[in-house]
Structure 1
Amino acid sequence: MVMLPRGTFTMGVPAGEEERETVPVDVRGRSSPQTRVTIAPGLAMAARPVTRGEFAAFVAATGYAPGSSCWAFSNNGSSYEYLERAGLNWRDPGFSQADNHPVVCVSWEDANAYAEWLSRRTGHVYRLPSEAEWEYAARAGTTGARFWGDANSQACQFANVADLTLASALNLDRRPQFSFRCNDGFVYTAPVGSFRPNPFGLYDMLGNVWQWTMDCLNPDLSGQSSDGATRTTGDCATRMMRGGSWSHLPWYVRAGNRARGHATDRFNFAGFRLVRER
């Protein structure tokens, strides 16, 4: 765990970022209005996402049985698609993983079950971060779209992203709007901590896997509290995810970008990390 310093930051994205990042017009505005948020001291965040090996220990100890279907990235030769596939699960997400890879094909509900087990086992309170806590940690004092800066070609030093490695392996579109202009060396997930950390010492805050947060779905940041608390109103059957993944287009992989998923859905490009309460 990494202790997050107390700090105030601007949550959301500034005018012009979504246009510059070629975000589709129909999904712009989800990360506005910008809101000043203060994160109190004493909150600790895991330096890395929960791994497949750590999740296996939870399953072995509790007998917990996640479902056996998972949304997966699919390439039909001409477009990017995401399809729900029966038989895929955290043990077999459709590609090879070692125990030091981030666990995937886990739902928001699965992530919370893991956090509850870890809390009982350790005597500390672990949970998913709020959206505000996650964004504060991802930005780590920076204000750009990504903590390493805006240069597309630098991404592979810091994150496992949709890059030229992925495009070459799966014969995908190599134009800049579809892939970062670098090679990170991984087609699917990478072992956690394989890339350089952000200024807070956190690894894989962007790329590798999307990360579940506690917040219910709200269409934008209207009503976001100034203390960074979890938003428990809105569509709570759907929860927010952050960070982008190994398979998502560059515009997704931004500190301020907000995505969503049904709380019971599982994705082979999404996992989670925890925070420890003060």
Structure 2
Amino acid sequence: MRKRRLVFLTVLGLAGMAVLQGFAPMPEDGSLVRIERASVRYREPGEFIDGTRPVNGPIGEIAAKKPFAIMKGQVTRGDYDRCVAAKGCKALDGAGDSALPVVGISFHDAVAYAEWLSRETGQNWRLPTDREWALAAGSRYRDDAYTEISDPANPSRRWIATYDAEAAAEQALDPTPKPAGAFGANEHGLLDLAGNVWEWTSTCYVRHRTDPATGAATEVENCGVRIAEGRHRAYMTGFFRDPKAGACSVGIPPANLGMRLVRGEGRLREWFGL
């Protein structure tokens, strides 16, 4: 009886592991990177206003609450064109090399591709949140608080200071898409972070306002504008494909808009905290 019970529990355990693996098999080809214990100094995106005075948002250390798997490289034009051929995505405005990162996509294009890939693979693909992107980027993540200048009577002073700081960081960046790995890998092994392709995140733009008299804080979320991450953080209108036409932030618009996706790990893994 004892031997039978041991065999039963062993089979049950193996079956359980098979189910877990079925929900989220980890890649063997190195196409994904699993982020587990990452941490980074992080500032929430959006606009922060103290009364009438624009200020920098608070900054602090954040860490991954649970592991997540993110694409090692950016989605390529060839990947996206397969979605177009399957009528899961809208065609892009111009031709492109299938081996290079896909560029010229809107937030909605990126979401459509993730939904199509999820249907094709039976897995859960999605855009990363801004926090996930920052954790994955690690040392390539850049804080967007470029200046402490804050003059309600002349907001252009802050805008100009931000533009000057971003212009200095760009260093005459060539916008031509480059092959995977052209901008190197970060400490986690992710390729081309903070290169010349900014990446859509799922995070919405938020306006944070504090009343100096009462200390009350309010937040207004605008999901018509999303956060794109790269050499600097950008606030982009979701339906724009051309970043030079769709930037909502002050400063320099991204050179290109592309994506890399996170793969969800399934409900059973979430329940067990794996």
Q: Report the number of matched residues.
A: 184
Larger Rg: 2
Distance 1:264 1:143, change over 3 A: closer
Distance 1:12 1:52, change over 3 A: same
Unaligned runs of 5+ in 2: 1-31, 45-52, 144-166, 211-218, 244-255, 266-274
Residue 182 of structure 2 is aligned with which of 174, 183, 194? Answer: 194
Distance 1:270 1:143, change over 3 A: closer
Distance 1:64 1:8, change over 3 A: closer
Which letter does structure 2 place at the counterpart of 1:130?
Answer: T
Which letter does structure 2 place at the counterpart of 1:264?
Answer: F
Greater RCO structure (CA 8 Å; 6+ sep): 1
Matching residue of 1:265: 240
CA distance in 2: counterparts of 1:204 and 1:219, whole angstroms: 30
Which letter does structure 1 place at the counterpart of 2:241?
Answer: R
Matching residue of 2:225: 238
Matching residue of 1:212: 200
The Cα of 1:11 is off from its aligned counterpart by: 0.9
Distance 1:260 1:40, change over 3 A: same
Query: Are 2:24 and 1:37 equivalent residues in the alignment?
Result: no
CA distance in 1: counterparts of 2:121 and 2:138, whole angstroms: 29
**1:85-143 deviations in whole A, cap 9, x for unaligned?**
xxxx4434xxxx42121111111011001001111111111100000000111115x78
Q: TM-score when scaled to structure 2? A: 0.59
The within-5 A match list for 1:43-82 is 43-62=68-87, 64-66=89-91
Structure with the largest fraction of helix: 2
Distance 1:220 1:270, change over 3 A: farther
Distance 1:90 1:134, change over 3 A: farther
CA distance in 2: counterparts of 1:137 and 1:124, whole angstroms: 20
CA distance in 2: counterparts of 1:118 and 1:6, whole angstroms: 27
Query: Are 2:5 and 1:12 equivalent residues in the alignment?
Result: no
The Cα of 1:187 is off from its aligned counterpart by: 5.4
Distance 1:144 1:237, change over 3 A: closer
The Cα of 1:267 is off from its aligned counterpart by: 2.1
Superposition RMSD on alpha carbons, in Å?
Answer: 3.2
Matching residue of 1:250: none
Matching residue of 1:86: none
Contact 2:175 2:196 in 1 (8 A): no
